Each structure stands twice: as C-alpha cells, then as structure tokens.
Structure 1
Amino acid sequence: MPLLARSVQTPLHIEVRRGAVADLARILADGRISAGGEVAVVVGPGLGERIAELLRPSLRSATIYVTGGGTLDAALELADKLRAGHYDAVVGIGGGRTVDTAKYAASRWGLPMVSVATSLANDGIASPVASLVNDGIKGSYGVHIPFGVIVDLDFVETGPDRINRAGIGDVLSNISALADWELARMIRGEPVDGLAASLARMGAEAMLTMPGDMGDDAFVTVLAESLISSGLAMAICGSSRPSSGGCHEIMHAIDSLFPDTASHGELAGLGALFCTFLRGDDRRFGQMADCLERHQLPRTPSDVGLDADQFIRAVEFAPRTRPDRYTIIEHLAMTPEETRRRLAEYENALATR
C-alpha cells in the first residue's frame, strides 16, 4: 500500500506581532507548554534587565539566565544549569546566538524550547540547527525544532537596523540554494524534497518583490514569516539543503578565513548573488542584485571589506566547509585564475546595471 501522507515536526505555536514578550505567560499557557510559568528564560547580556522587567509580573516562577551565547562551551554551561532545575520548558529570547545557545542546551536534556526572536538576522529562529563556535570554528549542531516561535516586533524595531536587514540576505540565498539542489539532482541523482523546496522558495520570492522596508510592520512581518518558513523547510527534509548551497559554503569559508568580516545573512546574500552569476541565470541575478541594493546589503567583496585575493581564497576553500554538498562551486571546479576572471566579470556586470 502506498504511503498516503507523512508526519512532519512543526512548532506548536507561531506568532509574529508587537507585545509578544510581555504576553509570554499567556502564550505558554495557551500552547500547553507551561501552565504555571515554571520555565528557564535565557537572555543575552544586552536585553536582560528590560526583559526581566516585562516578565516579572506574569512569570513569577521563571528563572532568568543570562548567557554570552554563541559558543558550544556557553551552551554546555547553560545545559548544566538547566539540569539542576525543574522546568517545563526553556525560552530563548534574543538574537541568533542566544536562541541557538538555548536550543542546544534544551535539546541536551529533552526540554521543550520556545524561540523568541528580537532580531531577524537569519533563519535560525525556527530551524532544527544550532550554529555554535567550537575551538574558533563555527559548526552546525542538530537540535529539536522549537516548540514555539515568537517574533516581537517591538524589540525588532528598536534593534540594530543592519542586523535585521541581514535576514533579507539569508532569505534571498534560498533561491541559489534551491538551484544548487536541483543541480545536485541532475548531476548526482540527489533526491529533492518538494515540500521543503516549496516552503524555502515562497519566502524568498516574497522578499524579491515585497514593497517597504524595515520601518514597515507589514514588510517586517513577511520577513519574519519567510525566515520561519525557511527553518521549517530544513526540519521537513532533515537537513539544511533547502536553504544552504554554494552561498553558505562561501559564507562559512569567509567566517573561517576572515572572522568577523560581516554577519551570516550579509555574507549569505553576497554568496548567493555570486553563485547565481556563476550559474548564468541573468534574470535571477538582476532580481537579486536589485533587491540587495534596495535594502543596502553587500553585493561585492569590497562591500564587506575583502579584496579580490581574499574572496578568491574563500571560494577555493568553500567546498571544504560542506564536503558532502554538491553546488555550482563544486560543479565548475574553478582554478584560482578562473575565479579571478569570473569575479572581475561579476563586478563589471554589477557596475553596468
């Protein structure tokens, strides 16, 4: 008998609106995650006091932990603290580093985790992946998908504009990642999950043409929902394939070779635009270049402080960051001289638009 349906893991609760953090107790109760508010709330050092003030009236039983976040050591340290308590769930409130630290620590002991995003830098807010630095190298660690995903637009509005705009680059990179997935299917027979691909594609297509900017609630809501869809796409297919191709290989290579160059989303958008150019897709290249320019996101290596030699090194190093992945970079297998020529053509194509 054929399989007529499949079950997929998704969050129990998704909410994008203003005032969500202050309303967290009701959200946890309505979602049957924690009726009494006995939760561990994990925050970053910059938001701790503000969030604590908002939560104290309604979540008196909560324990608040402040973490520097972003490293495997910080996540393990948090996990040790969680083991000593008795909690219904873990609530990670903050940016990507804080949320990923909370995701990993919660998964360590099988605790439900709720992701509360106060910035929109990347699609980690809803993904089954925690990006953490270990011995100076950023790695991706499988975790349970969040039981709830909440985006508070009040916090997003007051956060650093550059960090939030970076999420646009991460969403757009899905277009290149999906093209790489199709290439892998054609060349290596790699199966493509149609449902995961559809979810990843929808958000990226919406960002390409969505009017407005980060000062517009409607635009920010679509960006948040697109990032959530991207995370769900990864959960459905069991890997980062729908949202990570040559674009992210370049991003991880730059992170490894030239740390602190730019943010995840900024580098993913730049990598996606370059890979789309390599693919010879002029229509997509034009659409993505226009969108990145409209939202003041990097399009050339110099925009993130890299010279040609450094970017060429990153492209050469990129396949090592995901040895099992087949993308346009592996397909072309360019020599450094070929990469230099293509980079010059790429920058000329942008300059003459």
Structure 2
Amino acid sequence: MPVLTRLIPSPVSVDIAAGALDNLAGLLADQRISSSGRLAVAISGGSGTALRGRLAPALPGADWYEVDGCTLDAAVQLADAMRASHYDAVVGLGGGKIIDAAKYAAARVGLPMVAVATNLSHDGICSPVSILDNDAGRGSYGVPTPIALVVDLDVIREAPVRYVRSGIGDAISNLSAVADWELAHRETGEQIDGLAAAMARQAGEAVLRHPGDCEDDAFLTVLAEALVLSGIAMSIAGHTRPSSGACHEISHALDLLYPRRSALHGEQVGLGAAFATHLRGEGERAALVAEVLRRHELPVVPDEIGFGTDEFVAAVAFAPQTRPGRYTILEHLDLTTDEIRDAYADYVKAISS
C-alpha cells in the first residue's frame, strides 16, 4: 500500500537559545548554506549595526550592507548592489523590517536567506511574506521561507520590550485568523488546510496559555517557536490565511487610513483579534484574549495606541477592502458604520466586566 506524503517548506536549521549567536559562523558554514563563506549581510542602523563588531571577525568573507528605511525601494537597491558579487547566501540581521527587506532582496537575486532576529515583533521572521512600504502605502510580497533562523534569547532580552510584546499579539491573533478561515470554509466552501490550521492554532494557544512573561526564557522560547510555526503554517497553506483574518484586515486599514500614526503590527492585530472574536459571538474567548493581552501590557482598546473610537470604527468599516476576496467575520456580518459602533460599545462593556 503506497504511503502518500507531502514536502513541507521549512528552514533546514532553527536555533532558538541563549547564546545562539555564538554558533552563527558554524551554522553558516553548513554546505547547504555557505561552504565558501561568501555572504551578504544586510543590517539596519539599529540592532544589526550594534552586533556587527561582535560578528564580523567570525565572518571574514562577508560583505556588510546597511539598508536605509527597509522600504520596497531599499530592498530593490539591496538586491541590485548584491548582483555585483557572487554570494552563497544573504543574512538578514536585525528586527522584522530588515529581515523582510533581506527576504525580498534574496528572492530577487535567487539566493537563500538566513534570518537572524534581534527581536520577536511579528511572525515575519520565518514567513514566506515580506511586508514593505511602497508608494501606495504598504504591500505584502511573496518570498521563499528563510533557509535558516537564529534567535539568541540574550539578544532578545536586550530589545525594547514593546517589540517583544508585539510578537505576542501577532501569535495570539492566529486564533482569530484560523476561526475566520473555518468560517469561510463553512459559509463559502473555501478549502482549508488542516495541517496549516493546526500549526497556527497551536502556536497561538501556546502563547495564550503560557503563564510566563518577557523576562522569562521559557516564555521567550515558546513565543519564538510560535512565530516560527506561524510562518511555516503559511508556507504549507501557500497563503497567509493561517495567520491573517479580520484581525489583519483591521490592522491594514489602520495602516492605510492613518499611516503616520500606526502602532506596531502585533499591537494592532492583537486588538483586532480580540474585537473579531467578540464579533463572532465568542464572548468568553474574547474576554480571555483581552485578559492575556492586558497581562502583557498590550492594547485592548484603540485609544491605548492613539486611535479614537470614530477612527477605529472607520478602520473596521474599511477593513474588507484591504483584502478583496478574503472572507472573514467582517464580510460575513457586513455591518454598517452604526452597527460597528454599537458592536464596539458592546465589546468594551464585555471586556471591562
């Protein structure tokens, strides 16, 4: 009897541990990544630059590229600069923005990419997507999954804690995204990938249920693993459905409508997930999500990140336009502006009781 399987796109190496950067040179020397040591290392002016002095002696064959702004134009410029040399791989060293820029540039020149994350702000550290600012605002671009991932918990603890908390919001939002995917399956017949959904859901549940906080290595490990699993779930599905539902539509709407005042991605999607869960009639679940977000000092109402009620209501009304063809609780209910306002008032009461 034949055994049918499928290949799962995933990194060949994932190293999440205190002191993981000490092993970076050895990981990169793996013949599957860079046996010659010819590497292009992309850094921003922040954490990546701070670590360059520490890592450069161990990577004598590397060329270092400081990327300004981490926009689509900057990523294209990085790719063009790398074409002049023959590299084995690209290393993105820093936060989520530089990793997204490096993923895009690596895809453009056809090189494998290694993500070395210095914070845990969102699941882009291992996803097949780059989020980059462009002339129209902000766009999502499909890219290969990183060939390897390194997360040094000692470095993560030195990052601004707000960025780590943002990753918590992004991981927990998986639960709302999967619920929206299941809703679309029931209502429209959209195909759902059970393995991708299971991975994304378990990643979210692991973070939601963990009693630790950002000072705890055990919690940081679970959070990093959850963000990795979220990225792999998207690769399995072939799209962002496992980690992107109404929660992300609301966040994208905030980015587009108020580009100079948008909060961190994970802050916005966590809030969006709590509200979307309330809209689906899951009162106890919404209260639990809000409680955990509060415990990690994440926003549960928009004024905690600088948006008024009217602005949030407008963003929710606009949100379905950010992902045409995607079916979530927002498309299902098709609420008017007044109905959104009433639902939001009910949400505030429910999470305050």
CA contact (8 A) 1:103 1:113 kept: yes
State how far apart, in whole Å, the 2-side matches of 1:249 and 1:3 are: 39
In structure 1, what is the equivalent of residue 223 of structure 2?
223
Report what 1:264 is aligned to. 265
Q: Give the drift of 1:213.
A: 0.6
Q: Offset at 1:351? A: 1.8
2:291 aligned residue:
290
Q: Which moved more, 1:228-237 or 1:208-217?
A: 208-217
CA distance in 1, matches of 2:22, 2:64: 15
Give the Cα–Cα distance (whole angstroms) in 1 for the partners of residues 271 and 204 of structure 2.
15
Equivalent residues in 2 for 1:70-219, closer than 5 Å: 70-219=70-219
Counterpart-to-counterpart distance in 2, 1:121 and 1:50: 18
Contact in 2 for aligned 1:112/1:147 (Cα 8 Å)? yes
Q: Which residue number in structure 1 is paired with residue 326 of structure 2?
A: 325
8 Å CA contact retained: 2:93, 2:118: yes
* In structure 2, distance between residues paired with 1:8 and 1:265: 26
Aligned-partner Cα distance in 2 for 1:227–1:52: 25
Q: RMSD of aligned C-alpha atoms?
A: 1.3
The separation in 2 between residues aligned to 1:293 and 1:231, in whole angstroms, is 25
TM-score, length-scaled by structure 1: 0.97
Structure 2's unaligned 5+ residue stretches are none
Please report how far the alpha carbon of residue 180 of structure 1 lies from its aligned counterpart in structure 2 after TM superposition.
0.3
Following the alignment from structure 1 to structure 2, what is the Cα–Cα distance between the partners of residues 3 and 153?
39
Contact 1:200 1:233 in 2 (8 A): yes
Calculate the TM-score normalised by the size of structure 2.
0.97
Equivalent residues of 2:47, 2:118 under 8 A apart: no
User: 1:16-43: per-residue Cα shift (whole Å, max 9, x none)?
Assistant: 0122234211011236311232100111
8 Å CA contact 1:22–1:54 kept in 2: the answer is: no
- C-alpha distance after superposition, 1:241-290 (max 9, x if no partner): 00000000000000111123210000000000000000011231122111
**Does the 8 Å CA contact 2:43/2:65 hold for their aligned counterparts?**
yes
Q: Distance in 2 between matches of 1:17 and 1:68?
A: 29
Q: Are 2:286 and 2:351, in contact at CA under 8 Å, matched by a contact in 1?
A: no
Deviations 1:301-338 (A, max 9, x none): 11111111101110111001000100000000000010
Indicate the SS of the match to 2:33.
coil
Matched, 1:278 2:269: no
Match of 1:23 in 2: 23
Corresponding residue for 2:41? Answer: 41
What residue number does 1:315 align with?
316
Q: Alpha-carbon deviations, 1:127-155, whole Å to 9, x = none?
A: 00000011141110000110001111122
Cα distance in 1 for partners of 2:346, 2:3 equals: 49
For structure 1, which runs of at least 5 residues remain unmatched after alignment?
none
| Contact 1:273-1:288 at 8 Å conserved across structures | yes
The one-letter code of the counterpart of 2:100 is: D
The alignment partner of 1:11 has SS state of: coil
Quick check: 1:21–1:54 contact (8 Å CA) kept in 2? Answer: no
CA contact (8 A) 2:126 2:228 kept: yes
CA contact (8 A) 2:34 2:88 kept: yes
Query: Partner residue of 2:349?
Result: 348
Question: Structure 1, residues 159-211: CA drift from partner, whole Å, max 9, x if none?
Answer: 11011111000001001000100010011000110110111011111111101
Cα distance 1:31–1:292, how it changes in 2: closer, same or farther (>3 A)? farther
Query: What amino acid sits opposite 2:280 in the alignment?
Result: R
Question: In structure 1, the residue corresponding to 2:285 is in which secondary structure?
Answer: helix
Secondary structure of the residue aligned to 1:93 is strand
1:253·1:317 contact (CA, 8 Å) conserved in 2?
yes
- 2:287–2:350: 8 Å Cα contact kept in structure 1? no
Aligned partner of 1:184: which letter? A
Other-structure match for 1:32:
32
Question: How much has 1:56 moved relative to structure 2?
Answer: 2.2
- Offset, 1:52: 1.8
Deviations 1:97-156, CA, capped at 9 Å, x for gaps: 100000000000110100111000000000000000111411100001100011111221
Instruction: Provide the rounded CA distance (Å) in 2 between the counterparts of 1:126 and 1:144.
Output: 9
Shift of 1:5: 1.0
Query: Are positions 1:239 and 2:277 aligned together?
Result: no
One-letter amino acid matched to 1:35: S
Structure-2 separation of matches of 1:327 and 1:71: 29
Question: CA separation in 2, counterparts of 1:288 and 1:316?
Answer: 22
SS in structure 2 of the partner of residue 23 of structure 1: helix
